[in-house]
Amino acid sequence: MLNLNAFVVGLLFGLGLIISGMTDPSKVIGFLDLAGAWDPSLAFVMGGAILVGAGAFTVAKKRQRSLLGAPMQLSSATELDKGLLIGSLIFGIGWGLSGFCPGPAVVSAAAGQPKAWIFVASMLAGMALYVMIDRRGK
Amino acid sequence: MNLSDFTHSAYIAGLLGGLLIGIAAALFVLLNGRIAGISGILAGLLQADKGDKTWRVLFLLGMAAAPYVYQIASDLPPVTIEAGTAQLIIAGLLVGLGTSYASGCTSGHGVCGISRGSIRSIAATLTFMMAGIITVYLTRHLIGL
Interface predicted TM-score of the whole assembly (ipTM), two decimals: 0.96
The domain limits of chain B are 3-143
Query: Where is pLDDT greater, at A15 or A75?
Result: A15
Residue from the list A3, A53, A71 with its beta carbon closest to the beta carbon of B25 = A53
Residue contact B95–A29, C-beta within 8 A = no
pLDDT-above-70 percentage for chain B: 92
Q: What is the pLDDT of residue A135?
A: 79
Residue contact A6–B29, C-beta within 8 A = no
Q: A101 to chain B: which residues are within 8 Å by CB?
A: 38, 95, 105-107
Helices in chain B by DSSP H: which ranges? 3-7, 10-27, 38-46, 54-73, 85-102, 114-115, 119-136
pTM (2 d.p.): 0.94
Q: A73 to chain B: which residues are within 8 Å by CB?
A: 33-35
pLDDT per residue as tens digits for the range B67-105: 999 999 999 999 999 999 999 999 999 999 999 999 999
3-class SS at A52? helix
Q: Is A12 on the interface with B (CB under 8 A)?
A: yes
Residue from the list B13, B62, B134 with its beta carbon closest to the beta carbon of A14 = B62
Q: Do the beta carbons of residue B25 and residue A13 sit within 8 Å?
A: yes
3-class SS at B43? helix
Flag whether pLDDT at B4 surpasses 60: no
Flag whether pLDDT at A3 surpasses 70: yes
Q: A127 to chain B: which residues are within 8 Å by CB?
A: 39, 42-43, 46, 96-97, 99-100
Instruction: Give the span between the Cα atoms of A13 and A8, in whole angstroms.
Output: 8
* Maximal CA-CA distance, chain B: 55
The domain limits of chain A are 2-137
Q: What is the pLDDT of residue A138?
A: 64
Instruction: Give the span between the Cα atoms of B42 and A110, in whole angstroms.
Output: 14
Residue contact B31–A68, C-beta within 8 A = yes
pLDDT per residue as tens digits for the range A54-111: 999 999 999 999 999 999 999 889 999 999 999 999 999 999 999 999 999 999 999 9
